[in-house]
Amino acid sequence: MDAMSKPHPGTVAPTVSRRRFLEVAPLCVTVPVLPMVTTARPETARLLRQAAGTAPRLRISGMELIVVHATARTTWLFVRLSTNQGLTGLGEASLGRRAEFPELEPFFELVRDESPFRIEQYRQRGWAQASSGDRVRATAFSAIEQAQWDLVGKALGAPVSDLFGGRLRDVLPGYANINRATSNRQPEGFAANARAAVDDGFAALKAAPFDGFPALTQPEIEVAAAADLGIACVAAMREAVGPNVAIKIDAHSNFDVPLSIDVARRLEPHRLSWYEEPVPPQQVSDTKTIHDAIQQPMAGGEFLFGMQGFAPLCQQRAVDIVMPDVKHCGGLAEARRIAAVADLHGVVVSPHNPSGPVATAASVQLCAAMSNFDILEFQWGEVGWRGDLIDPPERFENGSIAVSDAPGFGIELNEAVAAEHA
């Protein structure tokens, strides 16, 4: 038996001779084609009718912006695309306190009257604007791309994770970002919320105790005092939660290289699970210098756009964890490309997600099918009604969230709750 005809290991070689095959082959071509059965899912049957020309082509017909005011600091913006067949798809464009988003309009025009399945066409048409370096445009572009994926999943009756090759996990670990919930920015305030997050079932948490850090041009004594306070806050969190809880610290690019290294070394006794963006991640050389000088793993990239924004960090191993945000990085398709680049260089992915429940649902579907996924961020404790803003309600249990197997992202907005906080 030659190499081309050798059966694959674990298979049984065919036993029908060539002569016997020629005898029975004519039978194969005389079998009539059976009529299509009607036991398929309704949405599958609809697609088959559409393909046969008996249903109108699915196309995007409208866009709505839903504004939800969470706190004085946080406004959630949700984009809802509608279609000529009544399907709707959700995306999230939250960006600080913004309550208006006119930048969505030119991107919507790229999908108006188009099939939601033409995601790559949209990406090609909108990429130049989205990648211009303007975060607002990047966010607008990403929101509509998210909503297209939700629409496609609903049209096919499949969760979005199935469109990415199928889930690798049914439950995702999460970490509690306690930062926005912590109004008392002293050690006792961080300690109290760290303990509360652990009591809620989280085994990992994150804070940004160096927010409000003075400019490095300020007097040295002022800079030193701010560094001391931030380190004291980390120490208080560690004491409050014990040795077995993962603590992640986001420095929000407040430092320079020498201060980044100094602070990291002073934090070593508190065993951080990562040290995030002590300098802007666009400063790849500086990030690499810090990475190689400290013991803690480094994370970053929360506002970077596109594969080209993340590639230098991965190629130089300037970070151990990249943090694409589906709201800002270019959407779900681009997040998958970023993850592939990271995987090539041994870097894991923990999506940035201090977001509303729509971006969280989208991120869950993304991460379920991602081989180098690490852990998902959750904005903990900001408002008590957050989970009820979507249907079914968003729930983290024991620090984890289940992957929905419902079509699309598996959610719809709870209109009553959204209206109450409009």
- Name the pairing type of β-strands 88-92 and 171-177: unpaired
Q: Please tell me the least confidently modeled range out of 26-30, 83-87, 230-234.
A: 26-30
| Cα 403 to Cα 126: distance, rounded to the nearest angstrom | 30
Segment 58-83 mean pLDDT = 98
| Residue at token pair 């602070």 | 263
Question: 391 - beta bridge partners?
Answer: 412
Rounded-to-10 torsion of CA 332, 333, 338, 344: 130
| Contact between residue 130 and residue 103 where contact means Cβ atoms under 8 Å apart | no
**Residue-level pLDDT at 23:** 39
With residue 65 as reference, give the H or E element that holds it. Answer: strand 60-69
- Mean of per-residue pLDDT scores for the chain: 91
Structure token digits, residue 213: 């850090």
Segment 260-277 mean pLDDT = 99
| Cα 284 to Cα 162: distance, rounded to the nearest angstrom | 35
| Contact between residue 139 and residue 331 where contact means Cβ atoms under 8 Å apart | no
Rounded to 10°, the helix 220-241/257-266 angle is 30
* Domain 60-157, CATH number (from 3.30.365.10, 3.40.190.10, 3.30.390.10, 3.90.1300.10): 3.30.390.10
**Residue-level pLDDT at 45:** 55
**Residue-level pLDDT at 43:** 59
Segment 292-298 mean pLDDT = 99
| Cα 134 to Cα 143: distance, rounded to the nearest angstrom | 15
**Residue-level pLDDT at 56:** 75
| Contact between residue 91 and residue 144 where contact means Cβ atoms under 8 Å apart | yes
| Cα 175 to Cα 248: distance, rounded to the nearest angstrom | 9
**Residue-level pLDDT at 30:** 35
- The boundaries of every CATH 3.20.20.120 domain in the chain are 162-413
Q: Is 50 exceeded by the pLDDT of residue 132?
A: yes
| Contact between residue 371 and residue 332 where contact means Cβ atoms under 8 Å apart | no
pTM, 2 dp: 0.87
Segment 167-175 mean pLDDT = 99
- The boundaries of every CATH 3.30.390.10 domain in the chain are 60-157
Q: Is 90 exceeded by the pLDDT of residue 388?
A: yes
Domain formed by 162-413, architecture: Alpha-Beta Barrel (3.20)
Q: Is 50 exceeded by the pLDDT of residue 312?
A: yes
Segment 353-360 mean pLDDT = 99
Evaluate the CA torsion angle 403, 408, 409, 415 in order and state its sign: negative
**Residue-level pLDDT at 39:** 42
